[in-house]
Structure 1
Amino acid sequence: MGWLGVPLMTAKPTGLFINTLSMLSATLKNIRHGKLDVRFGLPILIMATAMSPIGAYSGKFIPHRIVLVVFVLFLLYSGTMMLFFRPRKRRGGGNHVIEGSLIGGIAGFLGGLLGVGGGGIISPALILLGYEPKKVASTTALIVFFSSLSGFLTYWGMGTLDLKLLLWVSVPAIVGGWLGTHLMHFKMSSDQVKKMIGVIMYLIALKTLLVALNL
């Protein structure tokens, strides 16, 4: 949207709206096929949802260029690790509360601040900690739905929405979420999912860098 000339304070809530609809579609499909473990990501979900509005509101005070550059460096690191690093499989089930809360808090804040939902932080962090990529992707979809909705409602309250634009992006967001989830669970292996996440990290980093340079 930045490339298309949409103002930043309009693009961010629109991006969160797209995340909300696409991740709702993905989560409903995950639930339908028994692919979602809610308890696994609960600490992340709670903190991400709580911190997303704070990040959205903080956008008024924090220089966006600095935040975007830091985010780009993180994405490049995460993408490299996804593509070339093979983490050891984590022993034992469940997610550690402190670990999950920290990841969720950082992801929610930056997701709200940048209008990206936080999935680009949550997925690489959990996979690098040894969690199974498909399980991570399903959990991240649920978390990003709530954190994006929380951030979107905050921007709505700030009066920065373009309702016509939201209408145009709604149907593609829903279809994209459903299709992506279907391909992940039924057409791809866990290693392929991990590599795809790495490629997406690079693409998001490129997009974010271009936005930062144009600020």
Structure 2
Amino acid sequence: MEYALLILIGFMAGTIGSLVGLGGGVIIVPALLFLGATAFLPEVSPQVAVGTSLVVIIFNGLSSTLSYMKHKAVDYKSGFLFFLGSGPGAIIGAWVNNLLNADHFSLYFGMFLIFSSFLLMLQRRSANQTTRKNFKVMRTYITNEGETITYGYHPALAVAISFIVGLFGGLFGIGGGSLMVPAMILLFLFPPHVAVATTMFIIFLSSLVSSFTHLMLGNVQWLFALALIPGVWFGAKTGAFINRKLKSKTIVMILRIVLILLGIRLIYQGIA
């Protein structure tokens, strides 16, 4: 019964994570802590919940990437560049997680995510020439609605932001997409479909790194991970399928809702 519940949790995490690019840890970490506290499962520490989540997120990221790559939504060159920052950040975040009482950090991080959700309400005005002049790398993408969108970034800024994203991902076990997707959309004018697909590719790479660190620290509960992985794998494919059917504005709206819910959860965690 317990492991059937974990498979269901994995499916939900994979679907939501792949749909809006959050990785799935936003569901897995609190679920493991809650089930352990209520005796449905053996109790786990926050470090073990995060470490186990990151192992599972590897398969979420891989399954999502394989689904998105069939439709050419993954920007691999940008993904590898962002990983130059998120990889080292994920390692540091995993180590800090083992040392830090992060209650106040959870509070401020939750507030920041809610703030980010409101920023996404603003019109992006992707034709703003002043913004584009700061881009050293330019890309184009044709959306599901047939609109051609030009986006880009300055490599140094991209690496710096992805380092911060990787740090948070390793620290909280949430994959980092809660920051990466809004940053791509707001700062670099990525189309939402490309932002989500590329973020799942980055999450796959950074989760490999940060989960290895947690593995070395003994923070992985393998029985839980093996139960979660099948659900996450098929959930990720489901989320990617739904993503392809939605309009860009709908994806942004779903992302805003998830960010608000995640922010509230982190705020509660910080003050509880």
Give the TM-score normalised by the residue count of structure 1: 0.92
Q: Does 1:156 align with 2:215?
A: yes
Aligned to 1:138: 197
Secondary structure of the residue that 1:59 maps to in structure 2?
helix
1:43 CA displacement = 2.1
The runs of 4+ residues in structure 1 deviating greater than 4 Å are: none
Structure 1: give runs of 5+ residues left out of the alignment: none
Contact 1:12 1:114 in 2 (8 A): yes
Alignment check: 8 A CA contact 1:89 1:131 kept: no
Deviation at 1:210, TM superposition (A): 3.0
2:227 is aligned with 1:168: yes
Question: 1:60 and 1:209 mapped to 2: Cα distance?
Answer: 20
**Partners of 1:81 and 1:198 within 8 A in 2:** no
Q: Tell me if structure 2 keeps the 8 A contact 1:40–1:95.
A: no
In 2, the alpha carbon distance for the partners of 1:99 and 1:73 equals 23
> 2:34 is matched by which residue type in structure 1?
W
Alignment of 1:26 with 2:68, yes or no, is no
Alignment pair present for 1:190 and 2:248: yes
Return the index of the structure with the highest Cα Rg. Answer: 2
Q: Mind listing any 5+ residue stretches in structure 2 that lack a counterpart?
A: 1-31, 38-43, 133-137, 140-151
Aligned position for 1:88? 125
Residues in 2 aligned to 1:168 and 1:208: alpha-carbon distance in whole angstroms: 25
User: Does the 8 A contact of 2:175 with 2:207 survive in 1?
Assistant: yes
1:41 aligns with 2:79: yes
**Residue deviations 1:161-209 (CA, integer Å, cap 9, x gap):** 1111111101111111111111111x10011111111111112112222
For the residues of structure 1 that align with 2:173 and 2:74, how far apart are their CA atoms? 25
Note the aligned Cα RMSD (angstroms): 1.5
TM-score (norm 2): 0.74
Residue 110 of structure 2 contacts residue 264 of structure 2 at CA under 8 Å; is this kept in 1?
yes
- Residue 151 of structure 1: how far off its partner (Å): 1.0
Deviation for aligned residue 1:73: 1.3
Instruction: Specify whether residues 202 and 71 from structure 1 end up closer, same or farther in structure 2 by C-alpha distance, changes over 3 A only.
Output: same
Paired positions, count: 212
User: Partner of 1:121 in structure 2?
Assistant: 179
Whether contact under 8 Å (2:55, 2:207) holds in the other structure is yes
1:41, 1:95 within 8 Å by CA — same for their partners in 2?
no
**Residues of 2 paired with 1:179 and 1:157: CA distance?**
32
Tell me the CA shift for residue 41 of structure 1: 2.7
Q: Greater helix percent: which structure?
A: 1
- Percent identity over the alignment is 25
